[in-house]
Structure 1
């Protein structure tokens, strides 16, 4: 998703695309580690280790929420932040939809069992969409194949709780 954005922005500035734990090329973390606070701390630590000065943080969806958390917590001194469609943490939303507790418990086991085949669903029931948007489907399939079940479930918990 970020490749074309990075290609464009890197003409005038240094860009880093951070693979969050459990996503992309990064390693996984222990069960229960995934939260917006921990992910924000992870990104802040990467910025410190790379000695990035006055960064412009850009995040989409959950990444936007993480960038906002970093800014609000002042984990990194930054000049600008771009949060594209940040997810609103869902405590209020989850309560209103009655999604906490039992729902998440019921969701965990099927997702753990089905995660290895999730990306293949794009080739089955979603085949009509695959033909219409082949680039998007290919990117989603690649992203899903590089995300661990714990990271995916942790992201869901972080957003809903």
Structure 2
């Protein structure tokens, strides 16, 4: 099944449903050329909460669920996907083989995903999780951490007592 492809170019000031599988809540802003692909049944969805900013050319693909919580910022060229291709040499061309879902993605409140970062399947990021530009996130991270690299790792933690980010 080929996923539903949706290109968005507008600021949404209201709850908006696209095919009931892409949900944009109040104040979400989707910049030019954002692409959303929902590949699967009615239980599959992309949920974008209030005050989320999605930069230019962001790609979000799912065969299960992707949730962007309140206040999340995705910079330009961010890639988020729960899907993977099959790679069976005896089954023909790769693009003719079925894709499959490898697990939901959740991004917590007020997290920031830097330019060109990639969030891979089965990842959960806590609130105020800062992802460095170009990072590849292959596992889950807790709240109040700054991560970077390929694969991403914790480089700073927020110290609430001192009210500042500290190197690890």
Normalising by structure 2, we get a TM-score of 0.19
Name the structure where helix makes up a greater proportion of residues. 1
The structure with higher relative contact order (CA 8 Å, sep 6+) is: 1
